[in-house]
Amino acid sequence: MEEWLKITLCISLFALFRDFRPVDSFYTSYLTSPAVNFTAEQVTEDIYPINSYATTSLVIIMFLVTDYVLYKPIVMLDALSSIVMFLLVLEPITLFKSKLSMVFLGLTSASELAYMSYAYAKVRDRKLYQKMTGIIRGSNLMGKCLSATCAQIAVSVLHIEYGLLVIISLAGSILAFVFSLFLPSVNVSIYFHPESPKPAKPKVNYSTFHNQCHKDLGPCLVKKSPKPVRVVFDQLYSELRDAYNNPYLLKYGIWVSFATGVYFQVLTYNDVLYLKLNELNPVDNKLYNGGVDALAFISGALSSYFIGFLNADWKSISNLFFFVGSLLSCITLCVCYLTTSLNCVYIMYIVFCFVFQSMNVVARSETAKHLKHDNFAFIFGVGFFLSLIVSSIFTYLFVQGTIFAVPVNVQFLIYGLINGGLAIWFFFQMCINKCTIK
């Protein structure tokens, strides 16, 4: 087996167990169940926002630490913080423990870039980035799919209490931590521990007395030390400027910032919308959150695998692809606002996840392939950070009702309109490109 494939499969197994968290599909239901007895308002306004704020405040710090400690320790921390998070929400659970658990969930989310960056650091062939991104992202979503399937079977067929789903999720995180222990170490990183070029063997003239006296001396061993922080920050600024001066990369950076921010909000608050619709009409709007999540994530996994191996000229068709994808995302989220049918919302959510994951693989792989420097982890980190800022702004303004309270279905309308704005932007990009070619 080729070396790049071995590394990709190792990371894929870690990603699969990392996201095996059955309780996620029914987490709002768990927190509002009689066993915990929080109100829906406490969950949406007091508990969930902490995750968004914690992730946003930690992500850039985690990126720099990841590079300094050579990736693997942060991959291990990713799984370890998830273990602590689930330990905190084992019954009995208090409001303080649930809020603290969101801090550790934020740490897990902020560490997410580590395992993808680890893969890029170990595999330096850019021609393999699209395949590698598709496989790892697909495995990540496959873990979510298995998780959601397990959750739905446990709740609907076996009638298991939500608290047991927390224990199963804890077991998945422990397995992920065990897998992370066996990952091979990384010896170099982009910024703090760059690979030293091998010096060419100098031609020695032994005709002189000095050279004759020293010809038997071996090369001097100089201890390699990490770069100073100031030098690293200067390098980061230079590379960020180089990346976003490239219109092709800037396009993906803008999409990632807004579309991923919306995706985080949809993923966090979709079960709140489900619960509201279920309360309005519990007969017709039965909860099948786990089954729907399973379908959404398996469709996203399949699209990721397919896109990863698709041979396409993305420079030519990317604007059309992202225009259609953003338009579909807009339509699906707006329908979630308009309808009161939970089954319709479920279908729209599945389509939305499928479309987003397809675009996400293209954005990631194309960004990695066309960077001037091997600074994929940093650029992804910046994009992730900006998307978290967007998500935090939405949470602060609309979810917590700092300016005005917005019902959850209206929030989905806002998210849909943002995707509509992205679709219009890509349409103009497409028109500009056609005019330029003519």
Angle at 285 between CA 279 and CA 290, to 5 degrees: 100
Q: Which one of 246-255, 331-340, 400-409 scores highest in mean pLDDT?
A: 331-340
Q: How confident is the model at residue 369 (pLDDT cuts 50, 70, 90)?
A: confident
Q: Taking Cα atoms as reference points, which of 412, 431, 260 lies closest to residue 330?
A: 412
How far apart, in Å, are the Cα atoms of 195 and each of 4, 190, 221, 280, 328? 19, 8, 16, 60, 44
Q: How far apart are CA 378 and CA 100, in angstroms?
A: 28
| Structure confidence by residue, pLDDT tens digits, 103-142 | 999 999 888 878 877 887 777 777 777 788 778 878 888 8
pLDDT, tens digit, 9 for 90 and up, residues 231-268: 777 777 787 888 788 888 899 999 999 999 999 999 88
Cα separation, 411 vs 336, in Å, equals 10
Share of the chain above pLDDT 70, in %: 88
More confident residue, 20 or 287: 20
pLDDT (average), residues 191-200: 60
pLDDT over threshold 70, residue 209 = no
Question: Does the pLDDT at position 202 exceed 70?
Answer: no
Q: Give the pLDDT band (50/70/90) at residue 197.
A: low
Contact 255, 359 (CB under 8 A): yes
4-16 pLDDT tens trace? 888 888 888 998 9
State whether the Cα torsion 130-133-139-141 is positive or negative.
negative
Distance CA 161, CA 144 (A): 20
pTM: 0.74
Closest CA to 336 of 258, 395, 385, 407: 407
pLDDT attached to residue 196: 61
* Residues 132 and 119 sit within 8 Å (Cβ to Cβ): yes
Asked if residue 294 lies in contact with residue 19, where contact means CB atoms within 8 angstroms, the answer is no
Q: Taking all residues of the chain, what is their mean pLDDT, rounded to a whole number?
A: 83
What confidence tier does 222 reach under pLDDT thresholds 50, 70, 90? very low
**Residues 177-187, mean pLDDT to the nearest whole number:** 88
What's the rounded Cα separation, in Å, for the pair 416 and 397?
A: 16
